[in-house]
Structure 1
Amino acid sequence: MSRPVGSQREGVKGNAGDATANGRARRVRDGLERRLLGLSAVGTALILLVLFYYPVWTVFRESVVVDGTATLSVFLDLLRDPFYFGDLARVFAGESPLAVGREFLFGERRLGIVGFTAYQAALSTLLSVALGLPAAYVLARYEFYGRRTLRSLTILPFVLPSIMVAVGFAATFGRTGTLNGALGVVGLGPVDLMFTLEVVLLAHAFYNAPLVARVTVAAWESVDASAVETARSLGASPFRAFRDVIAPQLYPAVLMGAALTFIFTFGTFPIVLALGGFQLATVEVFVYQLVRDLNYAEAAALAIVELVITLGVLYAYLRYEARHAVRSSGARPLPRKRLVPTTRSVRDLLPRAGIAGYAVIAVFVFVAPIVSMVYASVAGPNGPTLAHYEFLVERQATGAAFQVQPWPAIRNSILFAVGALAISLPMGVAISVLTTRRYRGRKLVDVVAMAPLAVSGIIVGIGLLRGPVFGFEIGSYRLAVGGALAIVAAHAVSCYPFVVRTVAPGLERTDQSLLESARALGASRTRALLDVELPLIWPGVVAGAAFAFAISMGEFSSTIVLATGTDQYTMPIAIERFIGRRLGPATAMGVVLLVVTSVSFVVIDRLGGESYGI
């Protein structure tokens, strides 16, 4: 039965209308898709502007605007103060650099606070590299049971809260610590390393040597085995092949680990305060002290000096990275050897003996503080006890308003970490895309985007407190970001650079021919990113998520500023408050934090497989 002509015309018009509507919707979708990257970049920039750059500027402004007048007097007074700059202050005061240098080399040296901070950061960097490279060698070149799990665990010390590490080192190296207990068994006298430079350097190595190992392992595993085989076939010895083929590909990773270690240890705060005391105080400790004394102008000027130094180191590394970036070309990785030798030749046994010696040092530096903290949490005057954990349960049951309770601390830490992850992960991916595209000045953009790595957490916390927490005037309305939102914001801006440093290397190494093929087939830039690039670098994205979550769990510096006088305290804040009264409950809370952080990091890291970069 045929349809009437009028109905057929109406059907044709309806189909044409549907096609027009579908085409219009497709054009709108394609337009949004093309602009999504740009919109993401703009949105990320606005978030950073509101939650980082503006708050930090409100603090830094104090150093250049005094009583409403722009001045550099605060900076000039700071630069000429020997307390901060030692002998260098005499140069800033106008004395001859040659005369000052001669007295510095051959007379009594005065480093000042800034000089001592750089000195201990340099020593910490050297020690971290020295301990990290052997670990990278073992993980990259040997196969053994549990290697992948151990590789995942290598970064755990780096993301553990600093206040918890301080508790572990106090339980190990203090006068009544496990080290002296072990020495007493063999009849040796006590050794008290607390409040010495040595224990501070060991604590910094505990944090940063695994970071050096992690980035170097990733670089070692990307070395093309065929290039090494070609060098050997041309007559190169194993050492010559390593020096000329492998080592040049490891230098950028080693320098990356060293640069990040210097930045982190230059801005160290809880470790020095807990293990070194004020006699070994660094720039960050004095920034915190000046803020507590309400001397914002001098604190801001000192923080700017710290920022200039750390950003300078970061910029120098990024420039080096730009010149030595290596793109992936489907390289065949070097085969791993069995850790247990198959023969008893000197050639096989000698490296294993060195590895065994390193393992003893690694246990002493990396395992002993954690084991000591766990042991201290169950140790009592009459033997093993659960009294410290019972204390936490009783503290939760009493519910006194002035007391720190365990469950709110655990809940807040997890919720803040989830919130920080939800903000920092898309921000980090957007910045990674922006900083891996080829355009003039992109490394400067990279440095600016990485600024949260170099800015004091104390300054970020104070800036948020005086900026978004206090509120913005928009017409007749005041917009404020306070309470838990302010802490999540502080955590997010401190976490997202780690997402960038794990995602960006993968984007740099992506085979560009795959993207060109996708674009040639009609995919927009956003569609190529979602369908081609992100699946290829997904382990790096997951690793960035693990970093963001774990670092938020352990964030202390900005949290202690924003949580003071509120009930928004986290597990690191609870540990700090416990340790000031009783070490036992502090170690018990540290074990709880260790378990939560370790489980979350390992689970997320294993879900993503073997990851890129950090």
Structure 2
Amino acid sequence: MSTASDDRISAALERVPDSVSDRLERRALSLAALVTAAILAVMLYVPVGVVFVNAVVEDGAATLANFRAVLTDPFYFGVLADVFADPLAIGRHLEGLAGWLAAISVSASLEGVVVPVPGVGLEIPVPWLDVSVPAVRKGLFGFTAYQAVLSTAASVALGLPAAYVLANYEFYGRRTLRSLTILPFVLPGIMVAVGFYAMFGRAGTLNGLLGLVDVGPIPFIEANPLAIVVVAHAFYNAPLVARLTVAAWESVDVRAVETARSLGAGPRRAFRDVVVPQLAPAVLTGALLTFVFTFMTFPIVLALGGLQLATVEVWIYDRIQQLDYAEAATLAILETALSLGLTYAYLRYESAQAGFSQTASPPSKEPLFPDLRTTLTGRRLAIVAYGLVALVVFVGPLASLVLGSLTDGSGLTLRHYAFLLERQLEGANFQTQPLPAIRNSLVFGVATLAVAVPMGVVISVLTVRAGRLGTAIDTLAMLPLAVSGVVFGIGLLQGLVFGLSLPGGWRLQLTGPIAIVVAHAVAAYPFVTRNVSPLLSSLDSAMVESARALGASRLRALVDVELPLVATGIVAGAAFAFAISIGEFSSTVILASGSESYTMPVAVERYLGRRSGPAIAMGTLLLLVTAASFVVVDRVGGRYEP
């Protein structure tokens, strides 16, 4: 056959239409992106948009009356309510500020404190300042910010010593302790609250120990619930501060410290001038994230403080219970605006610090206790003292949770678990039964994996492949990290559960269980993305190009080459997603109704309001499931860097 004939045959073959499967394969990533975008629009942006619409639309007309009512109400904004009511009355506001400053009184006394001078026989009076500050009406938002500031300070105070020990010393169990800094992302908040209740309650572990010396019981929670809430927040967020600071500390260039020492700086001066400036960004980042998390706190305050210590989130939940959806939506938008503003500040700060990264020569770690016969130095004594405090704050609540489920006032018992079994056997006589809660949690967890893992992987691929557009995709997809579960729960309830009317007479409506899976998947998929994206971006592009050169399509190269190489990230992200689904409380408690949808965290909260023993037993079961997820995350190297 002639060459011309061969050319005609080849040209004819090239004109043969590709099969449907070939076309789908070439466009698979684009189709996956469109499907994911549609799912995000329905699952994420529609509910958030519903919250906004319900706050600004009343009787079919746009209005800002709800915002005006909230902003000018002293119950919500305290002294700032007067400013919002009449922002142009600057003179009157300045007069009020001047009057408050004038009311501050400072008195000094030389007789209050006397310090003896050893070996001389003298006593030197030391001035004692007494500062009296008039009370300020903080309002609901002010109190929420106040407790967030206290919680942030406590978290930093507990997290920094842990970072110092982990970054500078080598000891048995160091890797395990460092892995435990990931706990804030997998421990359910309601379980932490129950653990603190098991430790500090009237029948808790601490009162049990005090009873051995005929002291108590002391009502720790009832007497000062704010202090217990702050410590619980520190339990939850100090590991986050430590995790960020350890990474920064280990990246400090030891050569810079040695240079400062060679120029005459002492150890303290070198630490202050060289190490502290490099640690400050990580500490400030951890503090800012902790403030955002504790400002949007919900399950810990709800369980330990209730309406007595109501934060914005708790009050939104109460408004929903009272069917006041317009006010709840208004508060939710104001809270989300503050949260997004703080998150934006964090992202700007993080991007400003990104250019200062350097190749470091980290210092070698010294043994924490090189020889048991060695005399303990002041520094090591301080570490031991901190270890005792950490034992009480971090280990105590979880140990008390397990111990409290197996004991009562008379000693070891399985009575609390027997109570749960009786609830199950008596069935219809009780609204909250343990087995449906466990079953629902596991089913919702598996369903969350089926939705969140593909979404997270697709978003990871898009963010890595799309260049500059990938940053915008990542930003839009990470909205769940800045929107609280309560706000999202309101949007799902008012929108998809109540139903939305669509053009053409269609109606979009979800049942409660499906809405809960949606809420869990939206909360979980960012963790899948955060585990997969770094691995995808670090892959050698030559491997993909080789597969393409051998005839593999783009989709085939992704499935056969790239995804197997990031399998550990996918597994870790899946473990994160499952743990988040198991422990999710904020949106679930709003959406759960009847025996078809309540989960283990919701059951814990319901039991806690009636009998603490069964709540502690259910919390222990929740701890076991969460611990299994954490083991998977730890074994496959899961990570989450904010």
SS at match of 2:354: coil
Q: How far does the alpha carbon of each residue in 1:67-104 deviate from its partner, in whole angstroms, 9 at most, with x for none?
A: 11111111111111111000001111214332343345
Q: TM-score, normalised by structure 2?
A: 0.82
Please state how far the C-alpha of 1:123 moved relative to its aligned partner: 1.1
SS at match of 2:27: helix
Distance 2:156 2:531 in 1: 20
Contact 1:483 1:568 in 2 (8 A): yes
The residue aligned with 2:127 is none
Matched, 1:117 2:144: yes
2:496 corresponds, among 468, 490, 507, to: 468
Q: Please tell me the residue identity of whatever aligns with 2:428.
A: A
Q: TM-score, normalised by structure 1?
A: 0.85
SS at match of 1:608: coil
Please state how far the C-alpha of 1:474 moved relative to its aligned partner: 5.7
The residue aligned with 1:453 is 481
Q: Please tell me the residue identity of whatever aligns with 1:559.
A: T
How many residue pairs match? The answer is 601
Please state how far the C-alpha of 1:50 moved relative to its aligned partner: 0.6
Please state how far the C-alpha of 1:21 moved relative to its aligned partner: 7.7
When residues 351 and 46 of structure 1 are mapped into structure 2, their CA distance, relative to the original with a 3 A threshold, is farther
Please state how far the C-alpha of 1:259 moved relative to its aligned partner: 2.5
Q: How far does the alpha carbon of each residue in 1:559-610 deviate from its partner, in whole angstroms, 9 at most, with x for none?
A: 112112342211111112222222111111111110111112212321236x
> What's the Cα RMSD here?
4.0
Bigger drift between 447-456 and 562-571 goes to 447-456
Distance 1:17 1:246 in 2: 71
The residue aligned with 1:182 is 209
Bigger drift between 388-397 and 264-273 goes to 388-397
Distance 1:51 1:30 in 2: 27
Matched, 1:571 2:600: yes
The residue aligned with 1:393 is 421
SS at match of 2:403: helix
Matched, 1:203 2:232: yes
2:63 corresponds, among 67, 71, 83, to: 71
Distance 2:453 2:96 in 1: 49
The residue aligned with 1:403 is 431
2:73 corresponds, among 81, 105, 118, to: 81
Bigger drift between 477-486 and 594-603 goes to 477-486
The residue aligned with 1:361 is 389
Contact 1:373 1:587 in 2 (8 A): yes
Contact 1:171 1:372 in 2 (8 A): yes
Q: Which runs of 5+ in 2 are unaligned?
A: 104-133
1:98 corresponds, among 94, 99, 103, to: 94
Q: Please tell me the residue identity of whatever aligns with 1:480.
A: Q
The residue aligned with 2:186 is 159
When residues 331 and 438 of structure 1 are mapped into structure 2, their CA distance, relative to the original with a 3 A threshold, is farther
Distance 2:403 2:463 in 1: 46
Please state how far the C-alpha of 1:111 moved relative to its aligned partner: 0.5
Q: How far does the alpha carbon of each residue in 1:3-25 deviate from its partner, in whole angstroms, 9 at most, with x for none?
A: xx89xx99999999889989999
When residues 157 and 308 of structure 1 are mapped into structure 2, their CA distance, relative to the original with a 3 A threshold, is closer
Bigger drift between 450-459 and 377-386 goes to 450-459
Please state how far the C-alpha of 1:109 moved relative to its aligned partner: 0.8
Q: Give the % identical residues.
A: 58
Distance 2:532 2:524 in 1: 13
Please state how far the C-alpha of 1:332 moved relative to its aligned partner: 5.9
Higher relative contact order (CA 8 A, sep 6+): 1
Contact 1:498 1:548 in 2 (8 A): yes
When residues 229 and 499 of structure 1 are mapped into structure 2, their CA distance, relative to the original with a 3 A threshold, is farther
2:627 corresponds, among 580, 598, 603, to: 598
2:221 corresponds, among 185, 194, 215, to: 194
Distance 2:486 2:381 in 1: 45
Distance 1:352 1:398 in 2: 56
SS at match of 2:496: coil
The residue aligned with 1:382 is 410
When residues 258 and 22 of structure 1 are mapped into structure 2, their CA distance, relative to the original with a 3 A threshold, is farther
Q: Please tell me the residue identity of whatever aligns with 1:99.
A: E
Equivalent positions of 1:571-590 (< 5 A) are 571-590=600-619
Please state how far the C-alpha of 1:125 moved relative to its aligned partner: 1.1
When residues 223 and 267 of structure 1 are mapped into structure 2, their CA distance, relative to the original with a 3 A threshold, is same
Bigger drift between 231-240 and 60-69 goes to 231-240
When residues 531 and 143 of structure 1 are mapped into structure 2, their CA distance, relative to the original with a 3 A threshold, is farther
Q: How far does the alpha carbon of each residue in 1:344-368 deviate from its partner, in whole angstroms, 9 at most, with x for none?
A: 778x833322221111111111111
The residue aligned with 2:377 is 349
Distance 2:395 2:414 in 1: 22
Q: Please tell me the residue identity of whatever aligns with 1:403.
A: Q
1:337 corresponds, among 366, 370, 373, to: 366
Distance 2:516 2:505 in 1: 26
Contact 1:435 1:442 in 2 (8 A): yes
Q: Which runs of 5+ in 1 are unaligned?
A: none
Bigger drift between 529-538 and 551-560 goes to 529-538
Q: Please tell me the residue identity of whatever aligns with 1:393.
A: L
Contact 1:167 1:587 in 2 (8 A): yes
SS at match of 1:78: helix
Please state how far the C-alpha of 1:554 moved relative to its aligned partner: 0.8
Contact 1:515 1:528 in 2 (8 A): no
The residue aligned with 1:323 is 352
Distance 2:221 2:147 in 1: 16
| Larger Rg belongs to | 2
The residue aligned with 1:413 is 441
SS at match of 1:135: helix
Q: Please tell me the residue identity of whatever aligns with 2:497.
A: V
Please state how far the C-alpha of 1:334 moved relative to its aligned partner: 4.4
Q: Please tell me the residue identity of whatever aligns with 1:315.
A: Y
The residue aligned with 2:516 is 487
Distance 1:152 1:160 in 2: 13
Distance 2:590 2:59 in 1: 25
Contact 2:306 2:314 in 1 (8 A): no
Q: Please tell me the residue identity of whatever aligns with 2:77.
A: F
Contact 2:160 2:242 in 1 (8 A): yes
Bigger drift between 297-306 and 17-26 goes to 17-26
When residues 382 and 175 of structure 1 are mapped into structure 2, their CA distance, relative to the original with a 3 A threshold, is closer
Please state how far the C-alpha of 1:434 moved relative to its aligned partner: 5.7
When residues 43 and 101 of structure 1 are mapped into structure 2, their CA distance, relative to the original with a 3 A threshold, is farther
Bigger drift between 402-411 and 523-532 goes to 523-532
Q: Please tell me the residue identity of whatever aligns with 2:439.
A: R
Q: How far does the alpha carbon of each residue in 1:161-211 deviate from its partner, in whole angstroms, 9 at most, with x for none?
A: 222222221221123322122223335454322142101101111111122
Distance 2:37 2:251 in 1: 33
SS at match of 2:507: strand
Q: How far does the alpha carbon of each residue in 1:101-142 deviate from its partner, in whole angstroms, 9 at most, with x for none?
A: 334544431100001101111111111121112222223333
